[in-house]
């Protein structure tokens, strides 16, 4: 039935019997099916997995189905969605279609028709492309300039940026390499009253220590060998604008002392001069190391830390905001296609799943490089398949989904092998969470009740029973 890999569909309905009937039918028609009984469960599943299709009831016990539809299609423009309801008419159908659904069903649902609609939509690239273009407009609500993210942590970052951008307060941005610290700094600058002035960047890691002071504060002619003329430093260049000091943790202690004095007095002295020069620059600093820990270790000045840490912003690593990966990836696809004069390409849902499953040690910078690679390797194809991603990503995804299993000549016991794989996955997740079933269920994208049922069925004993308290 399908010209692409087995499509995955999420069914969201609080009617357990109907959900089971639809699931059984779609499974027989070649779909891989997941289920959710509530809006909250559906949202949790959508955060962790890129489904090809969504079948959702309009009325859920804790949410409006159209709101979940918006979340799903904003995050995954390639997803095809069908809305169903036990009551309704033209008005509800029109609302669902306008929000991006491809069809609207009144219960009882005609199962053969439902499976045909889903299969046709999943297999139809033109329809998927049109839907993606229409739904892409929704992504703008999650953008702050060129920063993309809809996860809770990034929304908190955006809120902080919106609040502090109009001010002159010093900002300290911390996060792993590649998380977008300079982009946040530029976003603060371009949304501030200083936007029409210079944004000046200084990277403490890129400049040799003997030259760092002169680069930052400037130098007078003859101040040292090679200083053949007066030179304006970064502080002066950033006058009335914004000075971004990256990798501030790598500054030597003597240079930290001079930076502290400059921030306290709002004036600097060029190397080789004793004349103070006033400056008016907003300072935004960034570090990929934990400065508070460095203060305790004595490698970073405590007084400078507090001077910089007026407005702290912490950027989460990409692995901790997996739900943002599809949005960011599609942004980089569009960027790469435009810069290479190519027609806009589309990521398949299988490719999105591979991207979401990867750990991204290099964070956003690595993701951008991976997308650039995939755009090139996809050639003339309009769809970017998982196989065109860099080998470490596509291979790790393949090994995750299909562990190597030797097939003996006499065959094997299918149910036994599947149960052993299931057992191993659950065991690993319990080990990872120290036996915490709630956290293990979250990693496996299962409800806690379902996980406990599987533990009993597979006769698995958790190594620890402690559960993390749930905030109320």
Report d(CA 118, CA 143) in Å as an integer: 31
Report d(CA 262, CA 239) in Å as an integer: 13
Task: Tell me which residue of 27, 10, 7 sits closest to 111, measured CA to CA.
Answer: 27
Report d(CA 186, CA 145) in Å as an integer: 9
Q: pLDDT value at position 88?
A: 67
Tell me the average pLDDT across 383-398: 85
The answer, yes or no, to whether the previous bond of 384 is cis (omega within 30 of 0) is no
Q: Over the stretch 249-276, which tens digit does the pLDDT of each residue have?
A: 999 999 999 999 999 999 999 888 888 9
Residue whose pair of structure tokens reads 């940026």 in the numeric block: 161
Q: Would you say 205 and 250 are in contact if contact means Cβ atoms under 8 Å apart?
A: yes
Q: Over the stretch 403-421, which tens digit does the pLDDT of each residue have?
A: 555 666 667 777 767 777 7
| pTM score of the predicted model | 0.72
- What are the backbone angles phi and psi of residue 447, rounded to the nearest 5°? -75, 155
What contacts 127, CB < 8 A, 6 or more positions away?
80, 102, 120, 121
For the cut 70, the answer to whether the pLDDT of residue 141 exceeds it is no
Sign of CA dihedral 312, 316, 321, 326: positive
Cα 194 from chain centroid?
29
CB atoms within 10 A of CB 133: 12
For the cut 60, the answer to whether the pLDDT of residue 130 exceeds it is no
Count CA atoms within 13 Å of residue 76 on its CB side. Answer: 32
- The CA–CA distances, whole Å, from 288 to 260, 299, 302 equal 20, 14, 17
Cα 31 from chain centroid?
27
For the cut 90, the answer to whether the pLDDT of residue 56 exceeds it is yes
Report d(CA 22, CA 110) in Å as an integer: 10
Report d(CA 222, CA 199) in Å as an integer: 29
Q: Would you say 367 and 325 are in contact if contact means Cβ atoms under 8 Å apart?
A: yes
For the cut 60, the answer to whether the pLDDT of residue 134 exceeds it is no
CB atoms within 10 A of CB 81: 27
Sign of CA dihedral 8, 12, 14, 17: negative
Q: Over the stretch 264-323, which tens digit does the pLDDT of each residue have?
A: 999 999 888 888 999 999 999 999 999 999 999 999 999 999 999 999 999 999 999 988
Q: pLDDT value at position 275?
A: 87
Question: Residue 146 corresponds to which tokens in the numbers above?
Answer: 């060129």
Report d(CA 77, CA 62) in Å as an integer: 24
| pLDDT class of 115 with cuts at 50, 70, 90 | very high
pLDDT averaged over every residue in the chain: 86
Domains annotated for the chain, with CATH where assigned, are 8-140 (3.40.50.2300), 152-315 (3.40.50.300), 319-401 (1.10.8.60), 410-472 (1.10.10)
Q: What percent of the chain has pLDDT over 70?
A: 87
Q: pLDDT value at position 407?
A: 67
Residue 383's Cβ-count burial label (10 Å; 0-12, 13-18, 19+) is: middle
For the cut 60, the answer to whether the pLDDT of residue 93 exceeds it is yes
């Amino acid at each position: 039935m399908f010209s692409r890999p087995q499509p995955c569909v999420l069914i969201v309905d609080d009617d357990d019997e109907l959900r089971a009937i639809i699931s059984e039918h779609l499974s027989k028609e070649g779909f891989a099916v997941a289920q959710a009984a509530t809006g909250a469960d559906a949202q949790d599943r959508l955060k962790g997995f890129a489904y090809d299709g969504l079948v959702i009831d309009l009325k859920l016990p804790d949410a409006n189905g159209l709101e979940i539809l918006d979340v799903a299609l904003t995050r995954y423009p390639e997803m095809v969605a069908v809305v169903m309801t036990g009551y309704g008419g033209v008005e509800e159908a029109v609302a669902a279609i306008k929000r991006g659904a491809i069809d609207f069903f009144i219960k009882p649902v005609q199962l053969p028709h439902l499976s045909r609609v889903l299969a046709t939509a999943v297999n139809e690239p033109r329809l998927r492309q049109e839907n993606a273009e229409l739904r892409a407009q929704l992504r703008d609500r999650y953008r702050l300039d060129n920063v993309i993210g809809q996860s809770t942590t990034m929304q908190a970052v955006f809120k902080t940026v919106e609040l502090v951008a109009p001010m002159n307060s010093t900002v300290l941005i911390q996060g792993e390499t590649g998380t977008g610290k300079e982009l946040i700094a530029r976003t603060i600058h371009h949304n501030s009253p200083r936007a029409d002035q210079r944004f000046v960047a200084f990277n403490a890691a890129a400049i040799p220590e003997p030259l760092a002071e002169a680069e930052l504060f400037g130098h007078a002619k003859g101040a040292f060998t090679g200083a053949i003329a007066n030179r304006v430093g970064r502080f002066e260049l950033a006058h009335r604008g914004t000075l971004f000091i990256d990798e501030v943790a790598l500054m030597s202690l003597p240079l930290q002392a001079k930076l502290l004095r400059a921030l306290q007095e709002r004036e600097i002295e060029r190397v080789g001069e004793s004349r103070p020069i006033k400056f008016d620059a907003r300072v935004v600093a960034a570090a990929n190391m934990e400065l508070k820990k460095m203060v305790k270790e004595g490698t970073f000045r405590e007084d400078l830390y507090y001077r910089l840490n007026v407005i702290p912003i912490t950027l989460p690593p990409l692995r901790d905001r997996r739900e943002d990966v599809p949005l960011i990836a599609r942004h980089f696809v569009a960027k790469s296609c435009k810069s290479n004069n190519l027609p806009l390409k589309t990521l398949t849902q299988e490719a999105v799943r591979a991207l979401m499953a990867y750990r991204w040690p290099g964070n956003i910078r690595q993701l951008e490089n991976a997308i650039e690679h995939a755009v090139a390797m996809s050639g003339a194809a309009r769809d970017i398949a998982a196989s065109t991603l860099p080998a470490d990503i596509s291979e790790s995804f393949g090994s995750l989904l299909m562990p190597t299993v030797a097939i003996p000549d006499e065959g094997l016991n299918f149910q036994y092998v599947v149960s052993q794989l299931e057992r191993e996955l659950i065991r690993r997740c319990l080990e990872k969470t120290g036996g915490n079933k709630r956290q293990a269920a979250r990693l496996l994208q299962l409800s806690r009740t379902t996980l406990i049922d599987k533990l009993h069925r597979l006769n698995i004993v958790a190594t620890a029973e402690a559960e993390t308290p749930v905030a109320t």
